[in-house]
Chains A and B, each alone.
Chain A
Amino acid sequence: MKARLATLLAWVIALLNVFPLVWMALASFKTEVDAIHTPPLLFFHPTLENYQAIFALQDYTGYALNSVAISLGATLITVLIAIPAAFAMAFYPGPRTRDILLWMLSTKMLPAVGVLVPIYLLCRDAGLLDTRTALIIVYVLSNLPIAVWMLFTFFRETPRDIIEASRIDGASVGETILLVLLPLVLPGIASTALLLIILCWNEAFWSLNLTAHNAAPLTAFIASFSAPQGLFWARLSAASLLAIAPILVFGWLSQRQLVRGLTFGAVK
Chain B
Amino acid sequence: MAEKMMVVDDARVVRVSLGKIMQSLGFEVIACEDGQQAMQAILENPDVRLIMLDWHMPVMNGYDFLVRLREMPEHSSSPLVVMVTTEASMPSMMKALSAGADEYIMKPFDASLIKSKLDLLGVAYKE
Q: Do chains A and B stick together as partners?
A: no
Q: Tell me the B residues contacting A by CB distance below 8 Å.
A: none
